[in-house]
Amino acid sequence: GAGVSQSPSNKVTEKGKDVELRCDPISGHTALYWYRQSLGQGLEFLIYFQGNSAPDKSGLPSDRFSAERTGGSVSTLTIQRTQQEDSAVYLCASSLSPQRTHTGELFFGEGSRLTVL
Amino acid sequence: GQNIDQPTEMTATEGAIVQINCTYQTSGFNGLFWYQQHAGEAPTFLSYNVLDGLEEKGRFSSFLSRSKGYSYLLLKELQMKDSASYLCAVRDYKGGYQKVTFGIGTKLQVIP
| C-alpha torsion sign, points B82, B18, B68, A99 | positive
Beta-carbon separation of A42 and B96 below 8 A: no
Beta-carbon separation of B43 and A41 below 8 A: no
Predicted local distance difference test score (pLDDT) of residue A101: 64
What would the pLDDT profile of B44-60 be if each residue is shown by its tens digit? Answer: 999 999 999 999 999 99
Please give the average per-residue pLDDT across B39-46, as a whole number: 93
Beta-carbon separation of B45 and A107 below 8 A: yes
Buried b (16+ CB within 10 A) or exposed e, A97-107: ebeeeebbbbb
- Beta-bridge partner residues of B47: B34
Distance of alpha carbon B38 from alpha carbon B44, whole angstroms? 9
Predicted local distance difference test score (pLDDT) of residue A97: 78
The radius of gyration of chain B's CA atoms, rounded to the nearest angstrom, is: 14
The radius of gyration of chain A's CA atoms, rounded to the nearest angstrom, is: 14
Nearest CA to A111 among A2, A1, A33, A15?
A33
Q: Which of B45, B87, B98 has its CB closest to that of A43?
A: B87
Nearest CA to B32 among B3, B86, B75, B71?
B71
Nearest CA to B90 among B10, B19, B7, B27?
B27
Instruction: Compute mean pLDDT per 10 residues along chain A, 117 residues long, and list them.
Output: 90 97 94 93 92 89 95 93 97 84 87 97
Helix/strand/coil percent split, chain B, to 5: 5, 65, 35
CB within 8 Å of B56: residues ≥ 6 apart: none
Specify the amino acid at residue B74: L
A5 at the B interface (CB within 8 A)? no
Beta-carbon separation of A50 and B41 below 8 A: no
pLDDT bracket for residue B2 (50, 70, 90): low
Predicted local distance difference test score (pLDDT) of residue B1: 47
Q: Exposed, middle or buried, B74 (CB in 10 Å: 0-12/13-18/19+)?
A: middle
What would the pLDDT profile of B49-107 be if each residue is shown by its tens digit? Answer: 999 999 999 999 999 999 999 999 999 999 999 999 999 999 998 877 888 999 999 99
User: Rounded to whole angstroms, what are the CA distances from A100 to B14, B29, B31, B85?
Assistant: 37, 16, 12, 29
Which residues of chain B does A58 touch, with a Cβ-Cβ cutoff of 8 Å? 99
Distance of alpha carbon A8 from alpha carbon B66, whole angstroms? 40
